[in-house]
């Protein structure tokens, strides 16, 4: 059996095993394959492996997703939808690269604006799960994504969601303060809005909306 055949056989075996440790091993081996694509592998083989990895990272733990993100975020050939799947668990450096890649890929992307007045009113009246549901509905995203955006400590995800939905900085600041885990985190979160390019915010919000659709 050739080296190529042995590697593919290993991936096939892992793909048929549902145990969490096997899914994690599959994600990491796919990541290694795509990050260091062998010269002897045809380039048209990449897409099915990328699709499989995108599916696989939805099924593994946060630590594995962080390792995958750190490994491939700086790779120009890494597909942006795959990187977006890894955003919430990515280390800070990888997260910044994912935002950068979205800005490059979505120069002409436009997104529908959210109802800012309704959003702020809901934020002042409800917190926790109650507001997460309103936030998801008003932005057109999945409730689980809304919860992750609101709880993400740096405020980057919230800035992306707000800017992508064409909410003002004042609206972002209100949400950043209301849903910050503590006062120190609140101060750090407030700087995130200006740091996010509009193109990146629009592209990532479109990705989150497509997941909900």
Would you state the pLDDT for residue 21?
95
Would you state the pLDDT for residue 117?
94
Please report how many Cα atoms fall inside a 13 Å half-sphere around the Cα of residue 157, on the Cβ side.
23
Please report how many Cα atoms fall inside a 13 Å half-sphere around the Cα of residue 65, on the Cβ side.
19
Would you state the pLDDT for residue 178?
85
Residue 66: name the closest of 85, 52, 80 by CA: 85
CA 50 → CA 1, 34, 40, 43, 54, distances in Å?
Answer: 24, 8, 18, 12, 6
Would you state the pLDDT for residue 179?
83
DSSP string, 78-94: S-HHHHHHHGGGS-HHH
**Cβ–Cβ under 8 Å, residues 39 and 72:** no
Would you state the pLDDT for residue 165?
96
DSSP string, 159-191: HHHHHHTT--HHHHHHHHHHT-SSHHHHHHHTT
Mean pLDDT by 10 residues, the chain (213 residues): 69 90 95 90 91 94 97 93 96 96 85 92 81 94 95 92 95 87 68 92 95 88
**Cβ–Cβ under 8 Å, residues 56 and 27:** yes
Residue 199 burial by Cβ neighbours in a 10 Å radius (0-12, 13-18, 19+): buried
Would you state the pLDDT for residue 187?
72
Would you state the pLDDT for residue 1?
43
Would you state the pLDDT for residue 107?
73
DSSP string, 23-66: HHHHHHHHHHHHHT--TTS-GGGHHHHHHHHHHHTTSS-HHHHH
**Cβ–Cβ under 8 Å, residues 35 and 72:** yes
Would you state the pLDDT for residue 48?
92
Domain ranges of the chain: 3-105, 116-212
């Amino acid at each position: 059996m050739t080296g190529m055949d042995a590697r593919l056989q290993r991936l096939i075996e892992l793909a048929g095993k549902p145990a969490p440790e096997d899914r994690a091993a599959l994600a990491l081996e796919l990541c290694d394959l795509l990050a260091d694509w062998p010269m002897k592998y045809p380039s048209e083989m990449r897409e099915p492996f990328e699709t499989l990895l995108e599916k696989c990272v939805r099924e593994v733990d946060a630590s594995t997703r962080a390792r995958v993100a750190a490994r491939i975020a700086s790779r120009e050939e890494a597909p942006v939808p795959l990187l977006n799947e890894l955003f919430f668990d990515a280390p800070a450096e990888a997260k910044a690269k994912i935002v950068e890649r979205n800005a490059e890929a979505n120069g002409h992307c436009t997104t529908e604006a959210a109802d800012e007045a309704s959003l702020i009113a809901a934020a002042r009246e409800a917190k926790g799960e109650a507001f997460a549901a309103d936030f998801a509905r008003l932005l057109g995203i999945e409730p689980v994504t809304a919860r992750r955006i609101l709880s993400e400590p740096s405020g980057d995800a919230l800035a992306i969601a707000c800017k992508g939905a064409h909410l003002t900085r004042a609206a972002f600041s209100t949400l950043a303060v209301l849903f910050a885990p503590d006062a120190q985190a609140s101060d750090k979160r407030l700087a995130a809005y200006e740091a996010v390019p509009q193109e990146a915010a629009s592209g990532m919000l479109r990705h989150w909306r497509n997941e909900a659709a």
